[in-house]
Structure 1
Amino acid sequence: MWMHATCLLEFDVPVPTPFLFMLRPRSGSQQWIGREQYVLTPSTPAVEFTDPFGNLCQRLVAPAGRFSVHTSVDVDAAEDSDTDPGAHFVEVKQLPDDTLPFLLPSRYCESDRFSEMAASIATGCAPGYDQCTAIVDYIRRTTQYAPGAGQQIISACEVNERRHAVCRDLAHLGIACCRALSIPARMVVGYFEKLQPMDLHAWFEAYVGGRWYTFDPTQDDLQGGRVAIAYGRDAADVAIYTQFGDPVTILRMDVTVERMAAPSY
């Protein structure tokens, strides 16, 4: 299905300030970018590069005053998220090289502290996809999804203690538990058609059965209509913007996602 998504960020910048943005989705196995637009106001020179995880990053120095970034994209995305109960566990020695960074503990996913808990959650499950499903079910049962309630990023350990969190932090807990079972897991940030209230969304993917599969602790039923913008080990790798130097004020952030007719271009 075709989707149209937009993101508007508006800042009050006190002095010329370096920014790093991560707002351009790329085509892949689950999505195809048909058309996109990226507008900086006022017009500002920018340089784009690809980070170690394949994300498209835009680097610039915002001028002092009011500064905005407006992006829009038309995407042919999967209407349903692929599932594969019973998909097998891939032994570490057989994993592709590019999945190995997603096995290690990271800043917000302290997987080395979840070995016993993850093993307990997955008791009786076939190794692989079914273990991931058990982890997601556990998070849904024990941790309240509270959209808009967390401006400060918290780690998997903190989520496990607080028992309420936003989508980003629920993903941290799922990732940490998967890695504790030697299942590669990565964070995804992007657009999600079904999200209420509308905002950017975060979920995670786990590598089982020889490929990446989507898991989302915020949803009772796994749904499609997703557009991935960035992938990383945790939230530190997938911030949609990072500002350096003196603090700036974000004045506005608007996100829209809607279905559209197949384009004629």
Structure 2
Amino acid sequence: MWLRVSCKLAFNIELSTPFVLMLRPRSGEEQWIERDEFKIAPNVPITEFTDHYGNLCQRLVAPKGNFSIHTTSDVKTSEFVDVDFDAPFVEIKNLPNDILCYLLPSRYCESDRFNELANAITANVNPGYSQVFAIEEWLRTNISYIPGSSEYPISAIEVNYKLSGVCRDLAHLGIALCRSLSIPARMVVGYLHNLYPMDMHAWFEAFVGGRWYTFDATQTGIKGGYVSVGYGLDAADVAIFNQFGPVAHSLQQSVSVIQIKN
């Protein structure tokens, strides 16, 4: 399917302040970017760089006063997520070097604290994709997905204690459970077609069978329509914007995902 995804941010800024943005999706195995627009007002110099996860990041200094960012991309992506219950666990000695970092505990994913729970969830399940699927089903059954219930990221330990959270919170717990089983897992932020309420979305991917697979405990079935913007260890790596200095007052954050052709 072809999707047109867009995000508009508007701020009132008290003092000139640096921003680092992560708002441009990139082409890859799962998606192709046909058209891309990036507009800022007022116009200021902007540079782009690629971080160590491969994300496209934009760097600028916003002037005092009202400042807005508007991005739009036309993206070809799959109508369904890939499923392969036969995808095996990949032994650590056989993992590519660039995948190893996704085995380690991180700020919001304390995987060293979840081995007992992960083993209980995946008892008598074949190693690999089936283990991650069992984790996804456990999250869907035991952790309440409540959009808008958490303004700031919370860690996997906190999510497991609260038994509820927003999309990124469920992803944090899923990632921690996977890593505790030595399955590489990473956070993804981006867009999702037909998400309700519409907003930026977060899910996680696990590396089994020699590739990454999508898992999202906030949704049911194998529907696709995902457009990835950023990847990282957890939410600290995939903020759509980081602003430094005096607080910039948010005036607007709107997200749109529409299907433009099959």
Q: Contact conserved, 1:25 with 1:33, CA < 8 A, in 2?
A: yes
Residue 261 of structure 1, CA deviation: 2.5
Question: Which residue pairs with 2:71 in the alignment?
Answer: 71
Residue 108 of structure 1, CA deviation: 0.2
Identity %: 56
Question: Which residue pairs with 1:53 in the alignment?
Answer: 53
Aligned residues: 262
Gaps of 5+ in 2: none
- Are 2:81 and 1:90 aligned? no
Question: Which residue pairs with 2:259 in the alignment?
Answer: 259
TM-score normalised over the length of structure 2: 0.99
Gaps of 5+ in 1: none
The amino acid that maps onto 1:92 is: I
Question: Which residue pairs with 1:183 in the alignment?
Answer: 183
CA distance in 2, matches of 1:29, 1:187: 17
Give 3-state SS (helix, strand or coil) of 2:150's partner.
coil
Give 3-state SS (helix, strand or coil) of 1:88's partner.
coil
The amino acid that maps onto 1:11 is: F
Matches within 5 A, 1:120-131: 120-131=120-131
The amino acid that maps onto 1:235 is: A
1:143-195 alpha-carbon deviations (Å, 9 max, x no partner): 10001111011000000000110000100000000000000000000010020
Question: Which residue pairs with 1:225 in the alignment?
Answer: 225
Residue 86 of structure 1, CA deviation: 2.4
Give 3-state SS (helix, strand or coil) of 2:179's partner.
helix
CA distance in 2, matches of 1:31, 1:75: 7
Residue 222 of structure 1, CA deviation: 2.8
Aligned CA RMSD, in angstroms, stands at: 0.7
- Are 2:212 and 1:242 aligned? no
The amino acid that maps onto 1:212 is: W
CA distance in 1, matches of 2:137, 2:207: 18
1:44-80 alpha-carbon deviations (Å, 9 max, x no partner): 1111100000000001110000000000000011111
Q: Contact conserved, 1:216 with 1:222, CA < 8 A, in 2?
A: no
Give 3-state SS (helix, strand or coil) of 1:3's partner.
strand
Question: Which residue pairs with 2:150 in the alignment?
Answer: 150
Residue 221 of structure 1, CA deviation: 1.4
Question: Which residue pairs with 1:37 in the alignment?
Answer: 37
CA distance in 1, matches of 2:5, 2:184: 29
1:96-126 alpha-carbon deviations (Å, 9 max, x no partner): 1111010000000000000111111110100
TM-score normalised over the length of structure 1: 0.98
Moved over 2 A (4+): none
CA distance in 1, matches of 2:192, 2:214: 12
CA distance in 1, matches of 2:222, 2:248: 37
CA distance in 2, matches of 1:143, 1:114: 15
The amino acid that maps onto 1:126 is: N
Residue 36 of structure 1, CA deviation: 0.6
